[in-house]
């Protein structure tokens, strides 16, 4: 048996995600079981960047999540459900989805990955404070422990009870497909405190405004986070531009300077794309303090030198700005955006 611990500190130290990958390579699991209190799209994207698409093809995986307090993003569940060889369940899902505020009967707070290869007698567990979000998996200050065993004696002594309890939770959980549509509708409505209005109603500029990044195309390759996103037509007015309605496609609207947590100002062109949406190339996330944009809420705040830029998890965004949201709007893709008073 081998046991080790870790704390996220800086790029030279292990993270929850790198430890899961290390254990995965060691165990070569025929069954991967992720058990997490909540999941976000940024977590799914970070996981895929570390493991690649081959993870979903190599072996079956099961995922057990909670919906407590609405912290899990419906898009994250959909992305995992759509992968091959996956099953997704929700702890007490049928009950929680009917509760105002998604209040649980009992908080589900587990955060662990269980890996099994019984044929080769290899088992592993990575347990810690990090949830299935990019912050929890690799960015925030989190801590945890890793246990690896390669014989039945140590397995029965150290891991078998945890595996058995997790199996019991799985048996009694609700298949995600049974509650996802209802959860998604109620989750969206609980967030959209403003009124969805037509894009022609976008007026600007605004001091603070925001947009959900959603899934970001991997324009920099399979193992690098993407940094190009579409904005609804007219959102350029929030940045202080007033483009002609007859502007030709693939034209530059103007230059935007981003002020980031790490590194100096970055200036990029905002343009009108061939799909009639406005497009912006954001600063490279991992070199400017963001780690990933997928699933995050991007917040832009006017500053004399440009726009202070933040990339927040959904629940962090709601905690910071939820009572100040104004005129929440919804794109055809379901992504939301608006401004903050």
Looking at residue 87, which CATH number applies to its domain? 3.30.870.10
How far is residue 314's CA from residue 73's CA, in Å, rounded to a whole number? Answer: 8
User: 253 with 140, same domain?
Assistant: no
- Would you state the pLDDT for residue 106? 94
CA 113 to centroid of chain Cα atoms: 17
User: 139 with 13, same domain?
Assistant: yes
User: 209 with 288, same domain?
Assistant: yes
How far is residue 50's CA from residue 56's CA, in Å, rounded to a whole number? Answer: 12
Domain membership of residue 194 (yes or no) is no
- The model's pLDDT over 81-110, given as tens digits with 9 standing for 90+, comes to 999 999 999 999 999 999 999 999 999 999
- The model's pLDDT over 233-289, given as tens digits with 9 standing for 90+, comes to 999 999 999 998 889 999 999 999 999 999 899 999 999 999 999 999 999 998 998
User: 9 with 157, same domain?
Assistant: yes
Helix (H, G, I), strand (E, B) or coil at 311: strand
Are 225 and 291 in contact, with CB atoms under 8 Å apart? Answer: yes
- Would you state the pLDDT for residue 191? 61
User: 177 with 65, same domain?
Assistant: yes
- The model's pLDDT over 173-194, given as tens digits with 9 standing for 90+, comes to 999 999 999 999 998 877 654 4
How far is residue 254's CA from residue 271's CA, in Å, rounded to a whole number? Answer: 7
Given 167, 189, 211, the domain boundary residue is 189
Domain membership of residue 223 (yes or no) is yes
Cα–Cα distances (Å) from 188 to 162, 185, 310, 334, in that order, read: 35, 5, 22, 9
Q: Which domain holds residue 60?
A: 2-189
Q: For residue 55, is pLDDT > 50?
A: yes
Q: Which two tokens stand for residue 143?
A: 């801590």
Please name the residue that has the structure tokens 């895929």. 48
Domain membership of residue 88 (yes or no) is yes
User: 183 with 331, same domain?
Assistant: no
User: 79 with 118, same domain?
Assistant: yes
- Per-residue confidence band for 222, with pLDDT thresholds at 50, 70 and 90: confident
Given 133, 166, 189, the domain boundary residue is 189
How far is residue 150's CA from residue 135's CA, in Å, rounded to a whole number? Answer: 31
Q: How many domains does the chain have?
A: 2
What's the pTM? 0.83
- Count of other CB atoms within 10 angstroms of residue 184: 17
Looking at residue 285, which CATH number applies to its domain? 2.40.330.30
């Amino acid at each position: 048996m081998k046991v080790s611990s870790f704390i996220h500190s800086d790029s030279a130290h292990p993270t929850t995600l790198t430890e899961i990958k290390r254990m995965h390579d060691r165990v070569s699991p025929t069954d991967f079981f992720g058990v997490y209190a909540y999941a976000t799209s940024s977590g799914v994207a970070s996981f895929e960047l570390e493991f690649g698409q081959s993870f979903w093809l190599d072996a079956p995986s099961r995922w057990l999540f909670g919906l407590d307090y609405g912290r899990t993003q419906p898009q994250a569940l959909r992305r995992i459900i759509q992968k091959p060889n996956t099953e997704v369940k929700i702890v007490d899902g049928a009950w929680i989805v009917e509760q105002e505020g998604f209040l649980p009967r009992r908080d589900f707070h587990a955060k662990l990955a269980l890996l099994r290869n019984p044929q080769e007698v290899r088992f592993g567990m990575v347990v810690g404070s990090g949830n299935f979000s990019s912050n929890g998996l690799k960015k925030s200050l989190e801590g945890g422990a890793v246990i690896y065993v390669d014989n039945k004696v140590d397995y029965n002594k150290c891991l078998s009870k945890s595996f058995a309890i997790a199996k019991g939770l799985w048996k009694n959980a609700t298949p995600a497909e049974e509650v996802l549509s209802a959860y998604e509708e109620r989750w969206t409505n609980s967030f959209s405190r403003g009124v969805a209005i037509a894009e022609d109603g976008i007026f600007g500029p605004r001091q603070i405004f925001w947009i959900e990044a959603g899934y970001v195309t991997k324009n920099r390759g399979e193992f690098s986070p993407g940094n190009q996103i579409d904005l609804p037509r007219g959102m350029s007015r929030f940045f202080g531009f007033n483009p002609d309605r007859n502007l030709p496609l693939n034209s530059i609207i103007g230059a935007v300077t981003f002020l980031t947590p790490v590194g100096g100002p970055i200036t990029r062109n905002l343009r009108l794309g061939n799909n009639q949406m406005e497009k912006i190339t954001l600063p490279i996330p991992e070199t400017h303090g963001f780690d990933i944009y997928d699933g995050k809420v991007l917040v832009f705040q006017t500053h004399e030198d440009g726009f202070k830029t933040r990339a927040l998890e959904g629940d962090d965004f709601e905690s910071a700005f939820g009572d100040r949201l104004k005129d929440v709007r919804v794109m055809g893709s379901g992504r939301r955006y608006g401004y903050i008073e």
